[in-house]
Every structure is written in structure tokens, then in C-alpha cells.
Amino acid sequence: MKKITLLIIILFLILFSSCSENKEESDVIKIIPFNEDKNKEEIVQIYLPNINLSCLITELTTIKDITKETYIERSLQRMIMRSLESKSFIDMNIINIMKSDIVDETVFLTIEWKDNVYVNEEEECLILYSLINTVSSMDEIQYVKIINETKNFFFSKYNIKEAFSPSNTVLYKDYVKPINIVDEILNDYFYNEDIHSNASEKAVKFLNENLSEYIGYNIKNYYYNQYNTLLTVTIEATFYNEKYSRTDEELSFLLEYNNGKFRIREIYWLW
């Protein structure tokens, strides 16, 4: 028993002497712990367009070997792959992510639609905010500027001239077409001679002061600047009077979202 104890003490001294050898810091080989960047598993929040529920949903996922430099690319890759795993999601593989650049708190995200792709207004919004919200989940990112070649629209209804901020307005909430309230207000004003509570007094005053000479309208085109608690709907419309003389105008409607519906706060000419 004493021999065994003595042997253990000798081995301990040898090992201790070896580990305590004096070396310069630059000569020491370090073993990188698992939780440093090279082997790190980061929890990332991604946003997915659930077409069955007409809204965005969010998921937490882990991505290995992700760094600050690769965060955007890797998180978008994971979001696209996840969208292919269920028919409840819009196939995000219809978009190519060309590149991303970070300037201060803004990400410039260049995208390209694949050939022969069509999406309706709701799908366009859900895809757009899947990208914006996922990219904005990165620390310190507040805005996302979408670049779609030289086009002014993400697909056809969402104007991308300005940078977007993330939105919770369509997160687990049904998509509501903003144009519907605009059409409803104009229809009530011209044909029912009544404006209900979905328009402010300021909006009603604008209609009375600027459109009272007309008896009807036709919306030819429209687009949005974003989908958030406040958004602007811009319409290109034809208004006509009793003699059916027609006038083409562009109007913008400032909408406010509350309790699952939009209300018109303000109307102004787009001059």
C-alpha cells in the first residue's frame, strides 16, 4: 500500500513540474473552449411567412459556427431552408439573396426574384417582412434597405425607396389589405354619402374640401410604403363629375393600425 502511495506522489510531482514550466505567452498552445466563436452555437430568431395563417410566425433556432460577419447570411439561409420544410410556409427559395452590407445600424440587402415567379399582395408582404425581421434580429440592426436591381418595388405593391424597420403588425396577426379601407371610405363618401368612424375628422374635411365636386372614382393603381402601425397608401385614381369629365389624381392616405383593422388618419395630395 505504501509503495502505491509513493508511486502516486512521484507521478504527481512529475506532472506538476511539466505543467509549471516557464514559457513565454506566445509559445503556449491554447485550446479553444467550445463556447468561443469557432465552435459557438448561437440562438437565432427567424421569421417565417405562414400562408395558411396569413401572418408571420417566429422561431428560435441554433446555428453552429456563426459569427458577427456571417450572421445575416447564415440566418437567412436557415430561414429559407426552414420554409421548404412545410407547405404552410411560402417557399422562400423563390428569392436569391445576392449580398448584404452593413452601414452603421442599417443593412443593405440586395435581392433578386427567380424567373417566372408571381406573388400576390399578401405573399409579397409576408416575404418582405420575413427578410426584414430576420435580418433585424441581429444586435444593433435597426433598419433594412432592400435593393431589387433598379426597381422601386419589392415585387409590385411595396415601395422600397426607403429603408424598413421591423414590424410586429403582421406577426401572429392576419394580414389586412390596407387598400380595402381606402376603397371603403371613398365608396361611402361618393355613393352612400356617409363616412363611418374609420376616418378622422381631418380626413373627412379633406374629402369635403377637395372631392365634393365629383360623383365617382376609379382606383387604377396603388402601393404602400410599409406595413406597420402607421403606413401610407398612395393611389392613382380617376375622379369624374356629373358631366363625366374625368380628372386623374394621386392621393396618399395615412393609415393607423389598431385592434386588427386600419383607420384613416389623414389624406393629402401627392404633388
pTM (predicted TM-score): 0.83
113: closest CA among 91, 132, 129?
91
Question: What is the DSSP code (8-state) at residue 137?
Answer: T
By three-state DSSP, how is residue 180 classified?
helix
* The one-letter amino acid at 87: K
Name the residue with higher pLDDT: 99 or 193.
99
82: closest CA among 100, 54, 58, 112?
58
On the question of pLDDT at 35 being above 90, the answer is: no
178: closest CA among 218, 211, 146, 223?
223
Handedness of CA 27, 32, 36, 38 (dihedral sign): positive
106-113 and 95-103 strand pairing: antiparallel
CA angle 159, 164, 170 (to 5 degrees): 90
Task: Please state, as a whole number, how many other Cβ atoms lie within 10 Å of the Cβ of residue 155.
Answer: 20
Least confident of 34-38, 116-120, 222-226, 228-232: 34-38
Q: 121-136 and 71-83 helices cross at what angle (nearest 10)? A: 140
How far is the C-alpha of 222 from the C-alpha of 211, rounded, in Å? 18
On the question of pLDDT at 13 being above 80, the answer is: no
Per-residue pLDDT tens digits for 167-207: 999 999 999 999 999 999 999 999 887 776 789 999 999 99
Residue 247 CA: distances (Å) to CA of 190, 211, 214, 218, 219: 15, 11, 9, 10, 12
Per-residue pLDDT tens digits for 238-259: 999 999 899 999 999 999 999 9
How far is the C-alpha of 58 from the C-alpha of 39, rounded, in Å? 25
In this prediction, residue 24 carries a pLDDT of 34
Q: Identify the structural domains of the chain with CATH numbers, from first to last.
A: 37-147 (3.30.300), 178-269 (3.10.450.100)
Question: What is the DSSP code (8-state) at residue 154?
Answer: S
143-147 and 106-113 strand pairing: parallel
Q: What is the average pLDDT score of the chain?
A: 86
How far is the C-alpha of 148 from the C-alpha of 169, rounded, in Å? 24
Q: Which residues contact 240 (CB under 8 A, 6 or more apart)?
A: 214, 215, 216, 217, 218, 246, 247
How far is the C-alpha of 124 from the C-alpha of 227, rounded, in Å? 11
How far is the C-alpha of 208 from the C-alpha of 263, rounded, in Å? 18
By three-state DSSP, how is residue 49 classified?
strand
Residue tagged 394580414 (cell numbers): 175
54: closest CA among 179, 188, 169?
169
State the first-to-last Cα distance of the chain, in angstroms, to the nearest integer.
Answer: 99
Per-residue pLDDT tens digits for 142-152: 999 999 988 99
